[in-house]
Amino acid sequence: MTASRSRASGRPSSHWGLREALRLWRLVVACWVVSWVAIAPALMLVRRLVFPALAKLPSDPTLVAPGDAALILLESAAPIMVPLGLAVASAALVLWSWTVLWHAGVVGWTLWSGGRRVRLGEVLGLGVVAWWRYARLSATALAVLVAAAVAIWEPVSSSVRAAFAAMEEERLIWLLVGGAAATKLVAIVVWLATLHAAWLLGLPERRSVVLAWLRGLAGAVRSPIRSVGTWLVWLVPALLVSAVPTVTGAIAPGLRGSPLLIGLTLLASLLRWFCWVGMFCSFAPVTGLVGVVDEPAEPARSSPASEDSAAGDGERQGDSLDVTLT
């Protein structure tokens, strides 16, 4: 019997991403745990030395002179800048490695699971096998982003210096705004292209990381509205849930550091990871997912004419494996 799952279209689909994220809830929880473990050293340093200094500030922001809070924060963090920098760098490295791992694992599991029950160990195992390829894809996207940013800001910085020397404040502002907007637009395009490319790289005929990224860029350009719309469907809720603890702490200063706000922060982080997993799964370009043979298929019946011509021969037997990819 052949197990299979299918999509009606190869274009990005938030509905498909939602369904897959719900099936991959164990991965969502694993991502949530790994993220907190990664940033735990940095949080402990900040909590032990910086939070006590901030706690001495008045709860009413109007009673604090402008710039005093930032000055106190810098003075409190000065003794731990080196260990804090190392903790932040290690957290970034762990989160990047983990993101590459689960991206590669989800692609491998989605393409080759054939609808089997989700096993976190199987997903991560497939991610280990393809980790290096997806690490190179991430490096390719970063290189493109850096090159594009340099191409944008090189002429902008020259114009900014000229506007600053000429004391043209309005022109200076427009240059900075335009440069920032162009950089954000490029970052979005690179992000969308990498989402498409990650799924294309999992197909058996895809070996070149650069070609997969270029094909992903072409896919994002061919369907910009669908790609951006799907991306926003997941990005906006992720940003909203991330802002809930901060807004709650600002509205109710008495809740800062309380178990309620800590629990709200943990829940917001879990929901944010659900959005990231759902966003990634939404860009799966699969129209007919892999079928996996669980039992040998029954032999195909031959026509009466072929039966007459094959009289006396042994009965044909065989297994079949049907793999359909787009």
The dihedral through the CA atoms of 135, 186, 286, 95 has a sign that is positive
Say what the pLDDT of residue 22 is: 94
Say what the pLDDT of residue 11 is: 78
315 φ, ψ (degrees, to nearest 5): -70, 135
Domain boundaries, the chain: 11-51+81-286
Say what the pLDDT of residue 51 is: 64
- Which residues contact residue 228 at a Cβ distance below 8 angstroms, ignoring those fewer than 6 apart? 188, 192
Say what the pLDDT of residue 305 is: 45
Alpha-helical (H) ranges within 256-303 are 259-282
Q: Which residues of the chain have pLDDT under 70?
A: 1-10, 49-73, 76-77, 114-115, 167, 286-326
Q: How far is CA 318 from CA 7, 207, 296, 303, in A?
A: 29, 31, 7, 17
Say what the pLDDT of residue 83 is: 85
pTM of the model: 0.77
CA angle, corner 99, sides to 97 and 101, nearest 5? 70
- Which residues contact residue 294 at a Cβ distance below 8 angstroms, ignoring those fewer than 6 apart? 1, 2, 3
